[in-house]
C-alpha cells in the first residue's frame, strides 16, 4: 500500500485563535481508531501517515475503482460542540490539512450538538453532468464592475440559488483551495493542476465581476452547487500540491486579449459528461504530452486568451508592495510586517520575538516569518512574498477585529439580562446596536452568520443576520427579535465568553521600540493605529497631539 498524510488544525474566529488541547481521533471506514492526537499551542496535531492507493490509479481516467482510501476524524474539546468529518480522501504522497471548525457551546448548554461534515470523492469522479449553468460569454449579467478585484472575503451559498441554506464567508485563496481539492485529484501533473486552478479562479471572478447573483438580489457571490457553479465543501481538507499553487496564482485569471473581464471558464469532468469548455480529465492527457498551463487553456478556450493579474484585494489594510521582503530589506513595508507579527504573536505565542530594529529585516524577523509560514501552511523560506503578505494582513485583521469587539462589549456594558424590546426591520436605537454587537461577536465563531455594521438601524443586512442566527439555533426564522431570540443571543454570547480561550496578553517582549513615520496622503490616526497594531490614544500621547488632524509630511513617532 502507498502512504498519504493528514494533519488537523483546530482554530476559531477566522483562525485568529488557536484551540489547544482538542482531542482528535482518526478512524478507518470500519470505525477502528488508528490515531489518538491532541492539538498543540498552534491548534495543530502532528502529521500522521495513512495507507492508501498508489497514485497511478488517480492519474488513470479509465480506472474503474476508487483511487484513494477514505478516513474519518472525530474532534472534541471542553466547552465546544464536537466535530465529525467523514470520508476524507487520502492520496499517495499527498499531505492533507483538515481545518477543525469547533463552535463554542451556549451558556448553560448541557446537551452537545455534533457538527457533521461529509467530504467524499472529488467531483471529477462523480456521475452526472458537470457543466455549470450561466453565461457563456462575458458581460451578460445585469451589472459589471469597473475593475477586476479579489473579493475578501467571498460569500458562498451552500446550496442551489433558491435553496434555504447557509452562506459562509471565506478568504478567496481558501475558497479556491477548497474548490480545487473538491473538484480534482491533487496527484495530477503540475500543468494540469495549474490549468484547472486557473479555470476555477476565473470562474469565480467572473461571477463576482458580473455580479451574477448580487444583481439578482441574492446576498452571496457564488453557490456550491455543481449544477450552477463550483464544488465547495465547508470544512474539508486541503492538499499540499493545491495549496502551494493557489498561494502563487490566486490573483491571476484568464481573459481575452484586449478585454478586462474574466473569461467565463466553463468546464466539466470530460469523462461522465462533456461540454464545450475545459475537460478536467483532458488536462491530464495534455499535461502528459508536455502542454504548458496556458497551452492547455488555449486548447479548450479561444486562442487569444491570456493570463492577467489583479493586485486589487478588497478590505485589505495595506497592499502588497510588489517586491519580496527578506533579510537585508529595510523600510516602512518591513515595519508593517514586524508590527503584524508582533500583534499576531499575542494569539500565537510560538512565533518568536522580533529583536531587530524597526524597519530592518534581520535574523529575528526572518525567524518570526518562518514560524508564521509553518503554522499557516506557507512555504517556510523566511521571505515575505505575495502569499505570506496576504496571510499576514488577513490574520492581523482577524486578531485586531476580536480585540475591537471585546473593547466594544465593555463600552456597551453588555449584562446578563436581555432587553425586552421587540425588534424588526425598521427599528432603531440602542437596543439595535446591542443586537448588532451580539451578532457581530457570534459571527466570528459561528459559520453562516454574517457580520454587520453597528449603526443602530435594523436594515436588510441586520435582518439577514438575525434570520441566519435563528435558523442556526432552530428558532422560527422570521427575522424578528423577540424573547426567544434575545435569550438565544445572550446564551450564545455568554458561551463564547465562558469557553473561548483568551489570547496571551503578554508574550516575551520584543525589542523593536518606537519608530518614525512620515504622514502620507489619506492617512488618519485610526488607519495608522490599525496598520501598526497600536491605538489612537497611544500615538497621540507619544506625540503630544491634542487633535486627530494630521498634515502630509508630518513626522510621527509610532509605538513599537
* Partners of 204 in beta bridges: none
Tell me the C-alpha distance between 103 and 11, whole Å. Answer: 10
More confident residue, 271 or 254: 254
Judge whether 8 and 75 are in contact, CB under 8 Å.
Answer: yes
pLDDT band at 273 (very low <50, low <70, confident <90, very high): confident
Tell whether 549 and 495 lie within a shared domain: no
Model confidence pLDDT, tens digit, residues 367-423:
999 999 999 999 999 999 999 999 999 999 999 888 888 777 767 778 778 889 999
Give the Cα separation of 360 and 367 in Å (integer).
13
CATH assignment at residue 539: 3.10.350.10
Kindly state whether residues 79 and 210 are assigned to the same domain.
no
* Domain housing 546: 514-560
Q: How many domains does the chain contain in total?
A: 4
Do 491 and 536 fall into the same domain?
A: no
Output phi, psi for 358, to 5 deg: -55, 130
Residues 6+ positions from 537 with CB-CB distance below 8 Å: none
Predicted confidence band of residue 139 (pLDDT cuts 50, 70, 90): very low
Nearest to 80 by CA among 132, 115, 118, 56: 115
Phi-psi region of 488 (alpha: psi -120 to 50; beta: other; left: phi over 0): alpha
| Cell 496576504 found at | 390
Residues 95 and 162 in one domain: no
What is the pLDDT averaged over residues 489-511?
A: 79
Residue 428 lies in a domain: yes
- Do the domain assignments include residue 44? yes
Please check whether residues 488 and 521 belong to one and the same domain. no
In a domain, 366, yes or no: no
pLDDT reading at 136 higher than 50: no
The tally of CA atoms less than 13 A away on the side-chain side of residue 56 is: 1
- pLDDT at residue 138 in the model: 52
User: Is residue 425 located within the same domain as residue 303?
Assistant: no
**Cα–Cα distance for residue pair 558/560, rounded to 1 Å:** 6
- Predicted model pTM: 0.89
Say whether both 300 and 166 belong to one domain.
yes
- How many CA within 13 A on the CB side of residue 534? 22
> Residue 137 has what pLDDT?
54
The model's confidence at residue 231, banded by pLDDT at 50, 70 and 90, is very high
**Considering the domain boundaries, does residue 484 fall inside one?**
yes
Residue 76 shares a structural domain with residue 189: no
CA distance 335 to 326: 12
CATH code at 108?
Answer: 2.60.40.10
Asked, for residue 229, whether it belongs to a domain, the answer is: yes
How many residues in total does the chain contain?
560
Domain end (from 289, 309, 329):
309
Q: Is residue 244 part of a domain?
A: yes
- pLDDT over 60 (residue 141): no
Same-domain check for residues 197 and 304: yes
Task: Decide if 362 is inside a domain.
Answer: no
For the cut 60, the answer to whether the pLDDT of residue 365 exceeds it is: yes
Mean pLDDT of the region 352-372 = 95
Question: In the block, which residue shows the cell 440602542?
Answer: 430
* pLDDT above 70: residue 242: yes
Q: Where is the domain boundary, 259, 292, 309?
A: 309
* 299 and 186, same domain (yes or no): yes
State whether 272 and 304 are in the same domain: yes
Does residue 392 lie in a domain region?
no
Within this chain, do residues 296 and 166 fall inside the same structural domain, yes or no?
yes
- Express each pLDDT in 56-81 by its tens digit: 999 999 999 999 999 999 999 999 99
Identify the bridge partners of residue 115 per DSSP, sorted by sequence position: 83
Mean pLDDT of 236-265: 96
Provide CB contacts within 8 A for 197, sequence distance 6+. Answer: 176, 180, 242, 245, 246, 249
Smallest CA-to-CA distance from 491 within 75, 105, 80, 1 is with 105
Given 284, 309, 334, the domain boundary residue is 309
Amino acid at each position: 500500500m502507498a502512504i498519504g498524510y493528514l494533519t488537523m488544525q483546530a482554530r476559531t474566529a477566522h483562525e485568529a485563535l488557536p484551540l489547544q488541547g482538542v482531542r482528535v481521533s482518526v478512524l478507518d471506514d470500519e470505525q477502528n481508531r488508528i490515531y489518538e492526537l491532541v492539538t498543540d499551542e498552534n491548534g495543530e496535531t502532528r502529521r500522521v501517515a495513512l495507507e492508501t492507493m498508489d497514485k497511478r490509479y488517480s492519474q488513470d481516467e479509465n480506472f474503474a475503482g476508487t483511487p484513494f482510501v477514505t478516513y474519518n476524524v472525530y474532534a472534541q474539546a471542553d466547552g465546544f460542540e464536537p466535530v465529525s468529518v467523514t470520508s476524507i480522501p487520502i492520496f499517495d504522497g499527498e499531505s492533507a490539512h483538515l481545518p477543525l471548525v469547533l463552535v463554542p457551546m451556549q451558556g448553560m448548554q448541557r446537551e452537545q450538538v455534533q457538527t457533521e461534515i461529509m467530504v467524499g470523492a472529488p467531483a471529477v469522479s462523480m456521475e452526472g453532468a458537470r457543466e455549470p449553468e450561466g453565461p457563456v460569454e462575458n458581460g451578460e449579467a445585469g451589472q459589471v464592475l469597473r475593475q477586476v478585484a479579489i473579493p475578501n472575503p467571498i460569500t458562498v451559498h451552500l446550496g442551489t440559488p433558491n435553496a434555504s441554506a447557509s452562506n459562509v464567508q471565506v478568504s478567496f485563496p481558501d475558497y479556491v483551495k477548497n474548490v480545487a481539492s473538491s473538484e480534482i485529484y491533487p496527484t495530477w501533473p503540475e500543468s494540469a493542476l495549474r490549468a484547472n486552478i486557473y479555470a476555477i479562479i476565473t470562474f469565480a471572478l467572473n461571477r463576482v465581476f458580473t455580479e451574477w447573483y448580487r444583481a439578482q438580489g441574492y446576498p452571496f457571490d457564488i453557490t456550491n452547487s455543481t449544477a450552477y457553479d463550483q464544488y465547495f465543501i465547508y470544512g474539508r481538507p486541503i492538499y499540499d500540491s493545491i495549496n502551494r499553487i493557489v498561494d502563487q496564482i490566486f490573483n491571476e485569471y484568464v481573459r481575452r486579449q484586449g478585454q478586462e473581464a474574466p473569461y467565463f471558464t466553463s468546464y466539466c469532468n470530460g469523462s461522465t459528461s462533456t461540454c464545450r469548455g475545459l475537460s478536467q480529465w483532458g488536462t491530464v492527457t495534455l499535461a502528459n504530452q508536455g502542454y504548458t498551463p496556458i497551452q492547455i487553456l488555449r486548447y479548450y478556450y479561444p486562442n487569444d486568451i491570456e493570463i492577467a493579474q489583479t493586485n486589487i484585494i478588497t478590505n485589505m489594510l495595506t497592499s502588497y508592495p510588489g517586491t519580496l521582503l527578506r533579510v537585508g530589506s529595510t523600510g516602512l513595508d518591513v515595519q508593517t510586517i514586524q508590527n503584524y507579527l508582533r500583534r499576531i504573536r499575542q494569539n500565537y505565542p510560538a512565533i518568536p520575538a522580533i529583536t531587530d530594529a524597526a524597519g530592518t529585516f534581520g535574523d529575528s524577523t526572518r525567524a518570526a516569518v518562518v514560524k508564521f509560514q509553518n503554522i499557516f501552511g506557507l512555504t517556510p523560506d523566511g521571505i515575505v512574498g505575495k502569499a505570506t503578505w496576504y496571510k499576514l494582513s488577513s490574520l492581523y485583521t482577524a486578531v485586531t477585529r476580536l480585540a475591537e469587539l471585546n473593547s466594544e462589549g465593555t463600552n456597551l456594558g453588555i449584562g446578563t439580562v436581555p432587553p425586552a424590546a421587540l425588534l424588526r426591520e425598521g427599528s432603531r436605537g440602542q437596543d439595535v446596536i446591542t443586537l448588532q454587537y451580539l451578532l457581530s461577536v457570534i459571527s466570528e465563531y459561528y459559520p453562516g452568520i454574517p457580520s454587520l455594521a453597528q449603526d443602530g438601524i435594523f436594515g436588510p443586512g441586520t435582518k439577514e443576520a438575525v434570520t441566519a442566527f435563528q435558523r442556526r439555533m432552530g428558532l422560527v426564522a422570521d427575522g424578528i427579535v423577540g424573547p426567544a431570540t434575545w435569550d438565544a443571543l445572550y446564551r450564545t454570547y455568554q458561551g463564547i465568553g465562558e469557553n473561548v480561550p483568551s489570547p496571551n496578553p503578554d508574550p516575551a517582549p520584543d525589542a523593536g521600540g518606537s519608530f518614525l513615520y512620515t504622514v502620507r496622503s489619506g492617512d488618519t490616526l485610526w488607519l495608522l493605529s490599525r496598520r501598526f497594531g497600536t491605538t489612537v490614544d497611544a500615538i497621540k500621547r507619544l506625540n503630544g497631539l491634542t487633535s486627530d488632524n494630521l498634515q502630509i509630511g508630518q513626522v510621527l513617532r509610532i509605538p513599537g
